[in-house]
Structure 1
Amino acid sequence: MTVPVLLVLAQSTPTTDGSAPSPATFVEADLAAPQVSVLDLGVTRGDGIFESIGVVDGRAQALEPHLNRLAKSAGMLDLPAPDLDLWRAGVLRSIELAGDSAAASELLVKLVLTRGIEGGDDVTGWVLCFADVSHVDAREGISVVTLDRGYRSDVAETSPWLLQGAKTLSYALNKAALREAERRGADDVVFVSTDGFVLEGPNSTVIALIDGEYVTTPSSLGVLEGTTQAAFFSDVEARGGRASYRPITVDELRAADALWLASSGRQIAPVVSLDGVPVAQDPAFTAAAEERMLAR
């Protein structure tokens, strides 16, 4: 079989009557057939979570960090804890089914878990594996604009019900921000807080080179923990460089020696302009770092 591949998952759900839960399974599904009910809360309310895992030459990138982040997001939304053994097996099986064709050399595997049908007892879950070339398209660099997110940087602490730091299906605001970037002639967005700190992109982590140190925003400021960014930091530190998690001001961002947006799809995309101002880059460094990361 060649990509795309869809697996529908049925994870065991805790019972309240003392009976044994149904077994955890996944089945290969027909992409042309309906799979999700129009009553599913993931469809009607965006009430669910997801993860996107990059795959290069059959290797899932940062699989365990992605699974751990899925579990963390589930906990934040009070969803049943995902059966990580089942999800891991589903990811690996979807990659196996994708085959070894040229189209399967660079894949993205999307994991989705919703609260299921309103009033029901079972969650809905699936794994979708498909060809992806988004990070190839970004290797020449992307233009970025800063947009106000409308929150203070301490929102995760003051208002945890806003679910900052969870990877939820509620992406309408993120898509609206990307459309605003397009209207401004840019490719992507860096969100900033109302009190002047750098947050994250709609689907990426910000990395800045400041005074010889690679810096990213800590998750305590309500941003998603970056799996690709963490791999980049590991590579930097393994080669004797410095990397840290700390708040970054907007002024520091604009004065940074180099910038990247990190994500599972695009890996580390170099930022070539910020709010219309050119940003210096080292293409050789970025290419070498990405090659090392993809080979992990």
Structure 2
Amino acid sequence: MTRRSALMIDPVSADETRADYSDTFTLVDAAAPALSVGELSTQRGDGVFESIGVVDGHPQEVVPHLERLAHSARLCDLPAPNQAQWHQAVEAAAAQCGAGEAVIKLILSRGVEHGPTPTAWATTAPAADFRSAREGGVRVVTLDRGYDLGAAERAPWLLLGAKTLSYAVNMAAIREAHRRGADDAIFLSSDGFVLEAPTASLILRFGDRFVTPEPNGGILHGTTQLSVYEHLAAQGFEVGYDRIPASDLPRADAAWLVSSVRLAAPITAVDDAALPVDAELTADLNRYLLSPRD
């Protein structure tokens, strides 16, 4: 059984010349005080993070997560995370996980205000029980994100393509979905295109073709979505990226929200309009996503 734990990471140079970074990690009590009151991750949400699913002690899709962490850091003008060091940190954190499903969260913040170095840590915790969402599906509503599809390119300081700690808007969207009697939300651009969910990627099926919104316009390139695409392509399905008008959502033959910890949750309704559910394919996707993947 996984217990909550925390691993403080002393960031080192991006020059990956060392073979062993274990002396840069400190295992601490997850319930004990560890951050300064001047820490900018808590004061301003000034940092980036990744959540890595762990199955029976095996961290899933580590390299894609670390690559996305580096991408987010670059967008936020944070020092480049040393990939070898962070990979070893993930392995050390996974060693704290037992049987079953868990989650490792990686955090890189700007550190203490006016401080010399960033702050970095990893936490482990048991994963929530998502069997209901995986088997019974989720109802979603569409919400206007307030930006058109070109906003991320036109205004990169909005950090729309970074996975930052500033998740207040994402959580507000989920609360609004609950107020509307749904489980989750799908963001739409202000010019009427499908984006993503607050904490998941969207995959739609039209016949034997699977499509997800293009990873631009402030959309995170989902690590789980990439894994699902590899699995589907291996079975001979066509997979692709496109600009998807909101009007295409109710026409889909099936749809899923996919993420690293919840995995594949079939969408049963969009704005109260029922969608078909492919229970057999959903079960196949989740079996695959629960299998060890590097």
The answer to whether TM tops 0.5 is: yes
Match in the other structure for 2:11? 11
Asked if the contact 2:152–2:216 (Cα under 8 Å) also holds between the matched residues in 1, the reply is: yes
Partner of 2:111: 116
In angstroms, what is the RMSD of aligned CA positions? 1.6
Spell out the pairing of 1:23-38 with structure 2 (5 A cutoff): 25-38=24-37
CA distance in 1, matches of 2:240, 2:166: 29
Aligned position for 2:18: none
Of residues 125, 128, 133 in structure 2, which corresponds to 1:133? 128
CA contact (8 A) 1:154 1:221 kept: yes
**Contact 2:110–2:118 under 8 Å retained in 1:** yes
Q: Which deviations, in whole Å up to 9, do the C-alpha atoms of 1:268-287 show, x marking residues without a partner? A: 11011111111101111111
1:102-154 CA-to-partner distances (Å, cap 9, x unmatched) read: xx410111001100011111111110111103432311101100000000011
1:94 is aligned to 93
Q: Note if contact 2:2-2:125 (Cα within 8 Å) is conserved in structure 1.
A: no
Who is 1:202 aligned against? 198
Contact 2:2 2:102 in 1 (8 A): no
Q: Give the AA of the match of 1:91.
A: V
Name the CA distance, whole Å, in 1 between partners of 2:129 and 2:52. 13
Equivalent position of 2:213 in the other structure: 217
Matches within 5 A, 1:275-286: 275-286=271-282
Which of 142, 147, 150 pairs up with 1:151? 147
TM-score using structure 1 length: 0.93
1:165 to 143, 156, 161: 161
SS class of match (1:220): coil
User: 5+ residue gaps in structure 2?
Assistant: 15-20
- C-alpha distance in structure 2 between counterparts of 1:256 and 1:90, whole Å: 41
Q: Choose which of 176, 179, 187 in structure 1 pairs with 2:175.
A: 179
Distance, in Å, in 2 between the alignment partners of 1:106 and 1:38 is 32
Indicate if the aligned counterparts of 2:51 and 2:260 stay in contact, CA closer than 8 A.
yes
Deviations along 1:66-88, one digit per CA (max 9) or x if unpaired, are: 00000000000000001121211
C-alpha distance after superposition, 1:172-225 (max 9, x if no partner): 111111110010011100000111100011111011112421100111222001
Aligned residues between the structures = 285
Q: Is the 8 A contact 1:13 1:122 kept in 2?
A: no
The whole-number CA distance in structure 1 between the counterparts of 2:101 and 2:180 is 30
SS of equivalent to 1:44: helix
TM-score by length of 2: 0.93
SS at match of 2:69: helix
| Runs of 4+ residues deviating >2 angstroms | 133-137
Task: Report if aligned partners of 2:52, 2:60 keep a CA contact under 8 Å in 1.
Answer: yes
Identical counterparts, % of pairs: 45
SS at match of 1:265: coil
1:17 corresponding residue in structure 2: none
- The equivalent residue for 1:67 is 66
Q: CA deviation at 1:23?
A: 9.7
- Give the Cα–Cα distance (whole angstroms) in 1 for the partners of residues 105 and 160 of structure 2: 20
3-state secondary structure, aligned to 2:96: helix
Letter in 2 for 1:43: T
Aligned partners of 2:224, 2:79: CA distance in 1, in Å? 26
Give the Å deviation of 1:2: 4.5
Gapped regions of structure 1 (runs ≥ 5)? 15-21
Q: Give, in whole Å, the separation in 1 of the partners of 2:132 and 2:84.
A: 33
Say whether the 8 Å CA contact 2:214–2:241 is kept in structure 1: yes
CA–CA distance in structure 1, aligned partners of residues 49 and 76 of structure 2:
12
Letter in 2 for 1:28: L
Q: How many angstroms apart in 2 are the aligned matches of 1:182 and 1:293? A: 27
Most deviating of 60-69 and 135-144: 135-144
Deviation at 1:293, TM superposition (A): 2.7
